[in-house]
Amino acid sequence: MPVLPKELFKKCYGRYAIAAVNVFTMEQVQGLFHAGETANAPFLVQITPAARDYAHSIMLEAIVHAASKIYPKAVYAVHLDHGNEEHAKDAITSGGYQSIMIDASHEAFEDNVKITKRIVEKAHEHEIFVEAELGVLSGVEDNLSIDEKHAKYTNPSEVERFVQLTKCDSLAVAVGTSHGAYKFSGVQGIQFDILEEIQRRLPNFPIVLHGGSAVNEEEVQRINRAGGQLLKNATGVPPQEIARAIKYGVCKINIATDTRLLWTRVHREFFRDHAPLFDPVIPGKEYIRAYSDFMVQKFELFGATNKASEFIN
């Protein structure tokens, strides 16, 4: 059952967070919907421009629609992640999205405002929720690659004016996390003083945390034991910091890297242990099960377990 993000965030603010999970394949969509229904937890299905290029936007939207039929009790919304103006406009007119992100964070403040405002006006005509971004995260994800020296924290003194000028519905902020598997190579952890000041200036306004994967050390070690070559400094966001951030108005937490690491570990171990096999269905089923179990744990961490019932009449 699709639910507008506005309703999701209104209910979860300060209590729990909605997991927003990037998907590329049928196996990931299947695992996500199975986990959402199993845990009775609401979630966002995130589709990036890179995912749209890989599987085609029509294909991905059809897979999500099919999953909603297979798992009719799942409470979810479909969200475009890190879209530019072209991506955002296409998603708005496709009819398959309840929410979009316009990412003009790499532009100067005034240009970010102009671009975001244009997309907000068009999206709101279609009753589509808009996430914007202020501040720049470092790291690597899909076709995004930002060196740490070019990253910058969100300036709390700018957030009120930005939201007022753009009329965006939620705000992704840069408070110390980063994209990819190698987070926190500079200052360690989430900068809660910045997050607290943003909440003070934007009370009850939904904040988004990008780069929310944990990058479990055991997963990295298992990947390397099965032939992988991930660096030892692969690190993520500690669970206790995630739980603490929710109290500061973080309503949406993005997950991508963790599910990629899971895919890598499952398939590397499978073909190491079953070298004669070549059927993609067998490790595919294993990945769906592992993905579902992983997401059930994430819902619990985010406090979202058994919260989907809040949105069912």
> Is 111 in the active site?
no
3-state secondary structure string across the chain: CECCHHHHHHHHCCCCCEEEEECCCHHHHHHHHHHHHHHCCCEEEEECHHHHHHHCHHHHHHHHHHHHHHCCCCCEEEEEEEECHHHHHHHHHHCCCCEEEECCCCCCHHHHHHHHHHHHHHHHHCCCEEEEEECECCEEECCEEECHHHCECCCHHHHHHHHHHHCCCEEEECCCCCECCECCCCCCCCCHHHHHHHHHHCCCCCEEECCCCCCCHHHHHHHHHCCCCCCCCCECCCHHHHHHHHCCCEEEEEECHHHHHHHHHHHHHHHHHCCCCCCCHHHHHHHHHHHHHHHHHHHHHHCCCCCHHHHCC
Catalytic residue, from 81, 103, 142, 258: name it. Answer: 81
Residue 68, token pair as written in the block = 């909603």
Active site residues: 81
